[in-house]
């Protein structure tokens, strides 16, 4: 086994220092050269590719439902326009920077839009569940209110129930289709219609209950 002496010769020490310096320079070049080549457009995606990618990111944000007044979307569109202007003027580096900013803001806009959509979806789910409960109650009331009623009254109450079912079905269909905003927007009118139907059915049911009690009250 070779034993290293505790003291190192000056020539060897100088060689090792030079070797360490070369290794450091090589590491720097390995990191810097690809970056410089990308900046110069000699390797990797072109400026046009960067701008196209940014444009797709912005378009995706709109598709996810980001409103036009969203600060992130406004910033993304502004940066995208700046990237195109710089590219047309021959400012390759500035165009790349602006395209990167557009993508970053576009991703922020996507995140905000998805978060808002999830909130609306949860609200729509609550509305659909509440509407289903209201319709079930109306079905029970209808069964109680039509006992012993004449055909004309039953037909009138049945028409009322059909309208209520259709109103609820509209919300259910919108939810199943993923149109959560429509569910939220239609909720006030639907709830009011079901409330009015409930009041009428309650009155009709109470009439049935009163009619059942009337003979007992009249008996001596």
List, for residues 143-182, the tens digit of each pLDDT value. Answer: 999 998 899 999 999 999 999 999 999 999 999 999 999 9
Q: pLDDT tier at 219 (50, 70, 90 boundaries)? A: very low
Dist CA 109 CA 192 (whole Å)? 36
| 213 vs 194 pLDDT, higher one | 194
How is residue 195 written in tokens? 């409330």
Between CA 184 and CA 188, with CA 186 as vertex, the angle to 5 degrees is: 90
Percentage of the chain beyond pLDDT 90 is 68
Quick check: 217 pLDDT over 60? no
| Cβ–Cβ < 8 Å for 135, 194 | yes
User: Which pLDDT does position 35 carry in this prediction?
Assistant: 57
User: Which pLDDT does position 15 carry in this prediction?
Assistant: 65
User: Which pLDDT does position 37 carry in this prediction?
Assistant: 54
User: Which pLDDT does position 4 carry in this prediction?
Assistant: 47
Q: What is the pLDDT of residues 56-72, one digit of tens each?
A: 999 999 998 899 899 99
User: Which pLDDT does position 39 carry in this prediction?
Assistant: 58
Quick check: 36 pLDDT over 80? no
DSSP 147: T
Percentage of the chain beyond pLDDT 70 is 79
Rounded average pLDDT over 129-133: 97
Quick check: 112 pLDDT over 60? yes
41 Cβ neighbours under 8 A, 6+ residues apart: 47, 92
DSSP 41: T
Quick check: 43 pLDDT over 70? no
User: Which pLDDT does position 41 carry in this prediction?
Assistant: 56
Rounded average pLDDT over 28-49: 64
First to last CA, the chain: 126
Quick check: 211 pLDDT over 90? no
Name the phi and psi angles at 70, rounded to 5.
-60, 125
Q: What is the mean pLDDT of the chain?
A: 86
């Amino acid at each position: 086994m070779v034993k290293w002496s505790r003291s190192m010769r000056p020539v060897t020490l100088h060689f090792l220092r030079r070797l360490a310096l070369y290794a450091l320079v090589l590491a720097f070049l390995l990191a810097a050269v690809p970056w410089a080549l990308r900046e110069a457009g000699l390797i990797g995606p072109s400026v046009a590719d960067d701008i196209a990618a940014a444009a797709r990111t912005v378009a995706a944000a709109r598709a996810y439902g980001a409103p036009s007044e969203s600060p992130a979307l406004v910033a993304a569109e502004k940066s995208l326009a700046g990237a195109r202007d710089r590219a047309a003027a021959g400012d390759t580096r500035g165009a790349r920077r602006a395209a990167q900013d557009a993508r970053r803001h576009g991703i922020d806009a996507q995140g905000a839009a998805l978060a808002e959509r999830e909130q609306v979806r949860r609200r729509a789910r609550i509305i659909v569940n509440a509407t289903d409960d209201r319709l079930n109650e109306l079905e029970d009331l209808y069964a109680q209110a039509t006992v012993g009623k004449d055909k004309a009254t039953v037909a009138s109450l049945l028409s009322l129930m059909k309208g209520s079912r259709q109103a609820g079905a509209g919300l259910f269909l919108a939810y199943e289709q993923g149109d959560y905003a429509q569910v939220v927007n239609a909720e006030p009118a639907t709830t009011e219609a079901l409330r009015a139907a409930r009041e009428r059915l309650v009155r009709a049911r109470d009439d049935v209950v009163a009619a059942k009690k009337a003979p007992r009250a009249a008996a001596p």
